């Protein structure tokens, strides 16, 4: 992790620049508030901001999948005629998530090794 004093100086500079852009009329108040809400708070406390377009983390409910597997009309049920396609798409999504996670980890490690 970087120097905390340097990080705080950087955040202070960002806040000052944002305030200047707002006062200059480059940013309207809604834009300023949205950007400002995404910055960490003083003392390194992470922002509680959730992007309204994203809506927060989407968690898989294992109980719901298990319940779907009991429903004969659901493709999650092994007796359903489309079960094979459902399993294949589910496995594909898991593979994509693993690939994305590995790429994000390697990218983060690369950036951290440079910094």
* pLDDT tens-digit map of 8-64: 667 788 888 889 989 988 888 888 888 888 887 777 677 777 666 665 566 677 788
| Distance, CA of 115 to CA of 112 (rounded, Å) | 5
- Give the model's pLDDT for residue 23: 92
pTM: 0.39
- Give the model's pLDDT for residue 56: 56
Q: Classify residue 25 as left (phi > 0), alpha (psi -120 to 50) or beta.
A: left
Q: Are 22 and 32 in contact (CB under 8 A)?
A: yes
């Amino acid at each position: 992790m970087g120097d905390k004093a340097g990080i705080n100086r950087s955040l202070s500079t960002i806040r000052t620049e944002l305030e200047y852009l707002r006062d200059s009329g480059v940013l309207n108040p809604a834009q300023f508030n949205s950007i400002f809400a995404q910055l960490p708070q003083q003392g390194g406390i992470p922002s509680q901001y959730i992007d309204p377009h994203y809506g927060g983390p989407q968690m898989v409910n294992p109980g719901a999948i298990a319940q779907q597997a009991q429903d004969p009309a659901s493709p999650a049920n092994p007796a359903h005629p489309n079960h094979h396609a459902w399993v294949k798409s589910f496995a594909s999504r898991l593979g994509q998530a693993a690939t994305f996670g590995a790429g994000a980890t390697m990218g983060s490690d690369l950036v951290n090794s440079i910094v």
